[in-house]
C-alpha cells in the first residue's frame, strides 16, 4: 500500500488550470524529487496535499485514508508535514522554542495543567525538552539553541525550518526548495542532514527543488511537472534522457523540427 | 543569579501590593475611587490584550464588559439574586457571548476581524437601547445594589469595595501571567506572524484564538460586574466603541508586549486624566486632546510603550552596558 496517493488531482484558479489531473503513488521509505520549470505548479501541489488549498477535483489518500477535505492542522497530526519555500519561522523566538512549538502534537499538556504548573506538566515538559535537544543534535543546531531565529544566517534558518517540521514526527516530509539560496557547502550539509533524517527516523521525503545536481544525487525517483501536468516519472537516469523533460526545460530546437 | 532575580521580582510585587493595600488608610475617598476605576479598566485591558497578542484587534471588548454589567444589574435588581451568585454569572455570560462572537468572527483576520467585532458591538449596544423592558433603554438600569455582606464583611463603603476590586485585578494578573509563560501563551504569540507555520505543525489555530477570546471575555465580564456595582447605575453609552478606543490607547501607551506594560498604561493614563479634571477652566475636550497627543508621542518616540523605558534602564541592561564599557577600557 502506498503511503501517499494522488488520484487525478486538479486545481483551477478562475480560468487558470494550475494542476491538471495529476496522479501518482509514493511508497514508504522513498525520497522523491518534484521538479519542473517555474510556474509548473509544484508549490501549488504541495499546498493542496498539505490542506492549504482544496483541490477542484480528485482525491488525496494518505495511509489508506482520504485526507482531501481535512484542515492543515489535521493533516499535520496524521503525520504529513511540510516546509515553506520562503523562510517561515517563529522569528521572535529562540531556536529551541521554535522546535518546542513544533513538538506541539506530542506534548499533551492540558490547559489547566499549564495554568497551575502541576508536577505532571513539568514531567511532560522534561520529556519534550529531551526531544527538542535530540533534534538540535541531529541537525547540528545545539550551539545555536538560545539564538533568536531572526538572527540566524540563511543556511541555519533553512535548517531550522526542517527541524520544526521534524519535531512533528512526520511519516512524510514535504520540503519546498530546501536548498534555495544556499551556497555549495550549505547545500551539501543539508543533503547530509536529509539523508540522516531519512535513514535514522525512516521518514519518507518529497522535495521540490531547482538544484538539479542535488536532486539527481539525492532522489530515488523524480516526478516532472509542466504547466500543471505530470509529464514524466522515473529514476534520475530515465528523467535525464526523457525527451519531453528536456523539451520542457530547454525548449524545442526549431531546426530539428 | 536566577534565584536572586526571581526574588527581586517577587519583592517588588509584594511591595506594590502593600502600597495598594495602604491607600484607603490615607483617608482620601476620591483617590480610592479613582483606583477602583483603574482596577476595573486594568482587568478589561488585560483581557483585550490577550487576543491582541494573537494579532486580532477586537473592538467588542467593552461590549463583553457591558454584558457582564447588565447581567449583574438584571440579576440583582429584577431577580434579586445574591450578589455573589450573580458575580460569577457575569463572567460566564460574557464568555458564552465571546464563544458565539468568536466563532463567527475569528475566521476573519486583521482589519476584517476588527470591522466584524465593531459591527457586533454596535448590535449589542442597540439591543440594550431597543429592548426597553429588559435593559431599560437609553436610560439604562439605575439603583444597582451594593454587594451583599459576605463572611461578615460589608461591601457598601468605598474602602471595602476597593479591596474587592484589588483582589479581582490581582487574580486576573496572576492568571494572565501564568497563561503568558505557558505553552498556550507562546502559541498565541506565533499566530500574529506565522499562523500558516503553526497550522502546519498541527496547531488548531482557530481553537486557540477562540479560547483566548473566551478568557478575555470572561475577565471583561467580571470587570463589568464590578463596574455596575461600583457606580450603582449603567447605561448603553458606558459600553460604547468610544470606551474600547480608550482601552486601546491605554494598552498602546503602556506597551503591548507585556502585561506589565498594559497595567502601566491604564494606571498612568487614568491618573493623568483625573489630574486634568482638576485643572482650572477644565473643558471635556481636553481629555481627548490629551489622549490623542499622548498616543502620537508614544508611537513616535517609544513604540514599545512606556514600559520600554523601564526595560531600557533595567538592572540587566545596565550591568551589560557596564561590562561592555569595562571591556573596552
Domain boundaries, given as residue ranges, for chain B: 27-239
The complex scores an ipTM of 0.86
> Which residues from chain B sit within 8 angstroms of residue A89, using beta carbons?
194, 197
Nearest CA in chain A to B211: A111
- Of the pLDDT bands very low, low, confident and very high (cuts 50, 70, 90), residue B312 is confident
Asked if A17 and A69 count as a contact pair (C-beta separation under 8 A), the reply is no
B84: pLDDT strictly greater than 70? yes
Topology of the domain covering A4-250 = Rossmann fold (3.40.50)
> Which residues from chain B sit within 8 angstroms of residue A107, using beta carbons?
183
Which of A202, A210, A211 is closest to A31 using CA atoms? A202
- Average pLDDT, integer, range A69-88: 90
Which of B284, B239, B290 is closest to B122 using CA atoms? B239
Asked if B256 and B166 count as a contact pair (C-beta separation under 8 A), the reply is no
d(CA B180, CA B176): 6
d(CA A233, CA B130): 68
Q: What is the pLDDT of residue B103?
A: 92
B4: pLDDT strictly greater than 80? no
> Which residues from chain A sit within 8 angstroms of residue B194, using beta carbons?
88-91
Which of A15, A163, A190 is closest to A95 using CA atoms? A163
Q: What is the pLDDT of residue B159?
A: 79
Q: For chain B, what is the mean pLDDT?
A: 87
- Whole-model pTM: value is 0.86
**CB–CB contact B200 A165 (8 Å):** yes
Please provide residue B308's backbone torsions phi and psi, each rounded to the nearest 5 degrees.
-70, -20
Residues A21-35: tens digit of each pLDDT = 999 999 999 999 999
Which of B10, B183, B2 is closest to A122 using CA atoms? B183
Report the gap between the CA of B323 and the closest CA in chain A (Å): 21
Query: What percentage of chain B has pLDDT greater than the value 70?
Result: 91
Neighbours of B3 (CB within 10 A): 7
d(CA B25, CA A186): 68
More confident call, A87 vs B223: B223
Q: For chain A, what is the mean pLDDT?
A: 88
Q: What is the pLDDT of residue A7?
A: 92
Domain boundaries of chain A, sorted by first residue: 4-250
**CB–CB contact A91 B193 (8 Å):** yes
Residues B90-149: tens digit of each pLDDT = 999 999 999 999 998 988 888 999 999 999 999 999 999 998 888 888 888 888 888 777
- Of the pLDDT bands very low, low, confident and very high (cuts 50, 70, 90), residue B6 is low
Amino acid at each position: 500500500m502506498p503511503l501517499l496517493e494522488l488520484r487525478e488531482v486538479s486545481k483551477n484558479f478562475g480560468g487558470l488550470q494550475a494542476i491538471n489531473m495529476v496522479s501518482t503513488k509514493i511508497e514508504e521509505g522513498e525520497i522523491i524529487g518534484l521538479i519542473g520549470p517555474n510556474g509548473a505548479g509544484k508549490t501549488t501541489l504541495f499546498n493542496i496535499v498539505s490542506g492549504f488549498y482544496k483541490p477542484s477535483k480528485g482525491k488525496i489518500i494518505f495511509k489508506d485514508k482520504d485526507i482531501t477535505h481535512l484542515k492543515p492542522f489535521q493533516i499535520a497530526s496524521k503525520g504529513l508535514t511540510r516546509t515553506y519555500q520562503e523562510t517561515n519561522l517563529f522569528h521572535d523566538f529562540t531556536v529551541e522554542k521554535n522546535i518546542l512549538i513544533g513538538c506541539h502534537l506530542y506534548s499533551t499538556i492540558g490547559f489547566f495543567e499549564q495554568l497551575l504548573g502541576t508536577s505532571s506538566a513539568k514531567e511532560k515538559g522534561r520529556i519534550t525538552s529531551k526531544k527538542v535537544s535530540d533534534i538540535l543534535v541531529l541537525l547540528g543546531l545545539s550551539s545555536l539553541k538560545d539564538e533568536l531565529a531572526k538572527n540566524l544566517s540563511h543556511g541555519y534558518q533553512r535548517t531550522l525550518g526542517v527541524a520544526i517540521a521534524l519535531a512533528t514526527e512526520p511519516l512524510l516530509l514535504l520540503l519546498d526548495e530546501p536548498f534555495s539560496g544556499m551556497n555549495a557547502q550549505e547545500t551539501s550539509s543539508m543533503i547530509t542532514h536529509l539523508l540522516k533524517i531519512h535513514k535514522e527516523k525512516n521518514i519518507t521525503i518529497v522535495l521540490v527543488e531547482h538544484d538539479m545536481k542535488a536532486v539527481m544525487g539525492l532522489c530515488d525517483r523524480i516526478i516532472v511537472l509542466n504547466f500543471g501536468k505530470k509529464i514524466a516519472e522515473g529514476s534520475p537516469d530515465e528523467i535525464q534522457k526523457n525527451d519531453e523533460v528536456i523539451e520542457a526545460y530547454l525548449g524545442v530546437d526549431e531546426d530539428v523540427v | 543569579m536566577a534565584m536572586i532575580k526571581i526574588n527581586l521580582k517577587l519583592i517588588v510585587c509584594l511591595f506594590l501590593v502593600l502600597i495598594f493595600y495602604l491607600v484607603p488608610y490615607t483617608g482620601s475617598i476620591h483617590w480610592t475611587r479613582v483606583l477602583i476605576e483603574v482596577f476595573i479598566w486594568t482587568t478589561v485591558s488585560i483581557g483585550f490584550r490577550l487576543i491582541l497578542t494573537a494579532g486580532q484587534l477586537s473592538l467588542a471588548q467593552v461590549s463583553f464588559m457591558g454584558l457582564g454589567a447588565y447581567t449583574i444589574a438584571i440579576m440583582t435588581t429584577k431577580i434579586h439574586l445574591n450578589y455573589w451568585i450573580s458575580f460569577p454569572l457575569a463572567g460566564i455570560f460574557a464568555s458564552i457571548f465571546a464563544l458565539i462572537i468568536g466563532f463567527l468572527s475569528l475566521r476573519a483576520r486583521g482589519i476584517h476581524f476588527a470591522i466584524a467585532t465593531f459591527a457586533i458591538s454596535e448590535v449589542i449596544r442597540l439591543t440594550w437601547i431597543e429592548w426597553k423592558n429588559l435593559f431599560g433603554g437609553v436610560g439604562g438600569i439605575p439603583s444597582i445594589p451594593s454587594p451583599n455582606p459576605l463572611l461578615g464583611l460589608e461591601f457598601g463603603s468605598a474602602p471595602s469595595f476597593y479591596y474587592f476590586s484589588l483582589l479581582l485585578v490581582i487574580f486576573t494578573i496572576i492568571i494572565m501571567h501564568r497563561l503568558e509563560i505557558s505553552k498556550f501563551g507562546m502559541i498565541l504569540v506565533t499566530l500574529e506572524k506565522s499562523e500558516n507555520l503553526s497550522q502546519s505543525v498541527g496547531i488548531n489555530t482557530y481553537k486557540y484564538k477562540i479560547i483566548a477570546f473566551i478568557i478575555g471575555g470572561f475577565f471583561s465580564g467580571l470587570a463589568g460586574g464590578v463596574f455596575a456595582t461600583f457606580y450603582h447605575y449603567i447605561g448603553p453609552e458606558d459600553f460604547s466603541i468610544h470606551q474600547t478606543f480608550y482601552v486601546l490607547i491605554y494598552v498602546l501607551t503602556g506597551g503591548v508586549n507585556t502585561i506589565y506594560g498594559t497595567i502601566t498604561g491604564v494606571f498612568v493614563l487614568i491618573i493623568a486624566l483625573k489630574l486634568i479634571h482638576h485643572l482650572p477652566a477644565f473643558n471635556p475636550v481636553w481629555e481627548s486632546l490629551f489622549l490623542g497627543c499622548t498616543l502620537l508621542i508614544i508611537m513616535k518616540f517609544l513604540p514599545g510603550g512606556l514600559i520600554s523605558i523601564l526595560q531600557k534602564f533595567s538592572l540587566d541592561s545596565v550591568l551589560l552596558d557596564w561590562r561592555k564599557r569595562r571591556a573596552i577600557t
